[in-house]
Amino acid sequence: MLVIFDCDGVLIDSEIVAARLEAEAITDLGLPTTAEQICTRFAGTTTREVWATLERELGRPLPPGFFERHLAHVRDVFSRELEAIPGARRAVETVAERGLPYCVASSTHLPSLLNNLGTTGLVDLFDGNVFSASQVKRAKPAPDVFLFAACQMGSDPADCMVVEDSVAGVTAARRAGMPVVGFVGGSHVTDGHADRLTAAGARAIFGHMSDLPAVLAAQGIRAAA
């Protein structure tokens, strides 16, 4: 059974930082927005999709060079503020100790994804098995990145378990024909989020990475044969 980890909001507590920066930027452009609103609406989607939607709502094009400047600012803040989700490293190590194959599949652009995993001291756990929506045609909630990850890892989609924190991600996993569990331990999680993940198709919900082994066991996933 291949365990596929989303990254932002599952391994790295980045969603709340990114949402804060996006909310500040769009508010400065004249569309008052909060980090909570960004999290609720856009968790699991790509940065470009977020800004394409906000640009339409703003009713005018973004200033020239805005997106590039924003990304540079995000990279700078991430380099100083990013932290791993508590217990994430140990959870991945436990999966490895049980002999289960595992990887990352994220909406984040691949160079940024690798950099963020490096910043938080997690990149060494994955031995290059890190996959991004930038490598496929469509981002979540389309299933492409999960199907790509399974193919690269030599696994059948039905023989995978996805760990996700967003409705878009849970939806993508279900569209890929993969079972999925929902994680709600990130700083960005708002009231009712667990219910939204369940409604999207998550088989189980858990709030701390130390619970992952028990969650997987409850789904019949214990150790490689």
Superfamily of domain 15-81: Putative phosphatase; domain 2 (1.10.150.240)
HSE-CB of 225 using CA atoms within 13 angstroms: 2
Q: Given a cut of 80, is residue 90 above it in pLDDT?
A: yes
| pLDDT of amino acid 140 | 93
pLDDT digits 0-9 by tens, 98-139:
999 999 999 999 999 999 999 999 999 999 999 999 999 999
CB of 58 closer than 8 Å to CB of 176: no
Over residues 174-203, mean pLDDT: 95
Give the β-pairing of 2-5 and 160-164: parallel
**H-type alpha helices, the chain:** 15-28, 35-42, 47-58, 66-81, 88-97, 110-119, 144-153, 167-175, 193-200, 212-218
**Does the domain spanning 2-14+83-218 belong to CATH 3.40.50.1000?**
yes
Q: How many helices (H) and strands (E) does the chain have?
A: 10, 6
What is the location of CATH 3.40.50.1000 in the chain?
2-14+83-218
pTM: 0.89
pLDDT band for position 142 (50/70/90)?
Answer: very high
Which pair of tokens denotes residue 72? 């540079």
Output the average pLDDT for the chain: 93
Lowest mean pLDDT among 9-13, 57-61, 183-187, 220-224: 220-224
What separation in angstroms does the CA of 66 have from each of 23, 25, 55, 202? 14, 10, 11, 36
| pLDDT of amino acid 44 | 72
Q: Given a cut of 80, is residue 63 above it in pLDDT?
A: yes
| pLDDT of amino acid 225 | 58
In the chain, pLDDT over 70 holds for what percent of residues?
100
Burial of 195 (0-12, 13-18, 19+ CB in 10 A): exposed
Where do we find the tokens 């009713």?
59
What is the location of CATH 1.10.150.240 in the chain?
15-81
